[in-house]
Amino acid sequence: MSSIYRPLAASFVILLLSSFLATAFAATAINLGTAGKFAVLARSEITLGSSATVNGDVGLSPGRSYSLDFPVLHLPLTGFGTSSLINGKVFASDYLGSVAILAQAASDSSAAFNAAFAQASSASDTSKMTLGAGALSGSYTPGLYNSASDITFKEITLVGGANDVFIFRTSGSISCSSSAKVILSGGVQTKNVFWIANEDITVASKAVFQGIMLSRGDISLGASAVVTGNAYAQGSISISSK
């Protein structure tokens, strides 16, 4: 089955890269605000396969509950719903009691995305590596990595300490191959790994993904993919079954 786990305050996805030249500079962690309480937060639609699993709260705004494409039991007196596929609460913009919570979370998610793209890359920082053309592989040190083209990868290792921040940012899309892996080494925390895409983010089947995903488009997880972190899409989010 495909799964999403939300450890600590926030964490989720990993990276990919293909045919591009990019430079990494010092990075600052992105403030998620109230969006950080959600494992999955989308604007238009959320789809879960029959054996998918999400550990954490799920929110849809401004989309309404009819765009939650999985079984949900709405609990009117509480302002949220529950689902056998989710180890947490389900919030939708037409659930009384969810409106204010979701409005703030959606606003904070958009602000986080904008802040991620606004974060400056200092050309004076020459301590970080320049990535060569082709699919990413090997080990990477902390920093802000930019790409004007799509990011793709098979397996990478992020090496650093507990407070080090990694940001992978592209004006295109992010995708990984089947059975891809993002490995954290040296104490790197999932909550300090960010994947920022101006277009879609796609996690292929059986991939092991770590970090926080912020997409201006859609986010999709293939069959049996496992993600540790959070997924925030300004479009839809789809999580497949086995």
| Separation between Cα atoms, residue 190 and residue 17, nearest integer Å | 19
Q: Is 188 exposed, middle or buried (0-12, 13-18, 19+ CB in 10 A)?
A: buried
| Separation between Cα atoms, residue 205 and residue 202, nearest integer Å | 10
Q: Across the 242 residues of the chain, what is the mean pLDDT of every consecutive 10-residue run?
A: 56 30 70 98 97 97 96 93 97 93 97 93 48 65 86 94 94 93 98 97 97 98 97 98 78
116, 136, 147, 146: which is closest to 234 by C-alpha?
116
For the chain, the first-to-last Cα distance in angstroms comes to 4
Please tell me the predicted confidence (pLDDT) of residue 43.
97
Give the count of alpha carbons within 13 A of 150, CB side only. Answer: 12
| Separation between Cα atoms, residue 98 and residue 219, nearest integer Å | 23
3-state secondary structure of 155: strand
3-state secondary structure of 42: strand
Residue 56's contacts (CB-CB under 8 Å, 6 or more residues apart) are: 4, 5, 6, 38, 39, 40, 86, 87, 88, 230
| Separation between Cα atoms, residue 113 and residue 196, nearest integer Å | 7
- For residue 9 the two structure tokens come to 């305050």
3-state secondary structure of 65: helix
Please tell me the predicted confidence (pLDDT) of residue 24.
58
Please tell me the predicted confidence (pLDDT) of residue 19.
29
| Separation between Cα atoms, residue 77 and residue 49, nearest integer Å | 27
* Amino acid symbol at 37: K
